[in-house]
């Protein structure tokens, strides 16, 4: 019901961010602590979020569930698939603040910025 009303009665005492569910506040509060309650069963790493552990586990299994519909290349992280998909498009979301050029990758922008600074 709170989803429809927009009511968020559970506020974080550290940053003031509010949540409609107490469980979401508890998850959020981990961002302020060093608590990492989700251990990897394969190595020594620990994670604050269960979803981060799930992503990490794919480094051990080699699973790459996110496939590119254009070329078939697969990725273990959806964010890497999204970055890859820009190679097939004309999208250039990283503008140079010094000139009119735009870049598909943040690393390409960083390299370009050195042309302005002389580094």
pLDDT digits (tens, 9 = 90+) for 1-37: 677 888 999 999 999 999 999 999 998 998 898 989 9
Asked whether residue 79 falls in the same domain as residue 106, the answer is: no
Cα 28 from Cα 16, distance rounded (Å): 11
56, 45 Cβ separation under 8 angstroms: yes
Asked whether residue 78 falls in the same domain as residue 96, the answer is: no
Q: How many structural domains is the chain composed of?
A: 3
Q: How would you classify the pairing of strands 38-39 and 18-19?
A: unpaired
Asked whether residue 41 falls in the same domain as residue 69, the answer is: yes
pLDDT range class, residue 90, cuts 50, 70, 90? very high
Asked whether residue 78 falls in the same domain as residue 98, the answer is: no
pLDDT at 2: 72
Q: Which CATH number belongs to the domain containing residue 27 in this structure? A: 3.30.160.60
Per-residue tokens: 45: 């790493």
Q: Average per-residue pLDDT in the chain?
A: 93
Mean pLDDT of 61-76: 96
- Domain span at residue 12 reads 2-32
């Amino acid at each position: 019901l709170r989803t429809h009303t927009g009511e968020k009665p559970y506020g974080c005492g550290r940053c003031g961010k509010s949540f409609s569910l107490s469980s979401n506040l508890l998850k959020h509060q981990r961002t302020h602590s060093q608590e990492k309650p989700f251990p990897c069963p394969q190595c020594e790493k620990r994670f604050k979020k269960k979803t981060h552990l799930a992503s990490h586990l794919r480094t051990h299994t080699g699973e790459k569930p996110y496939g590119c519909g254009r070329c078939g290349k697969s990725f273990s992280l959806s964010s890497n698939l999204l970055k890859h998909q820009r190679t097939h498009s004309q999208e250039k979301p990283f503008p140079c603040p010094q000139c009119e050029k735009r870049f598909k990758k943040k690393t390409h922008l960083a390299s370009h910025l050195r042309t302005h600074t002389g580094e």
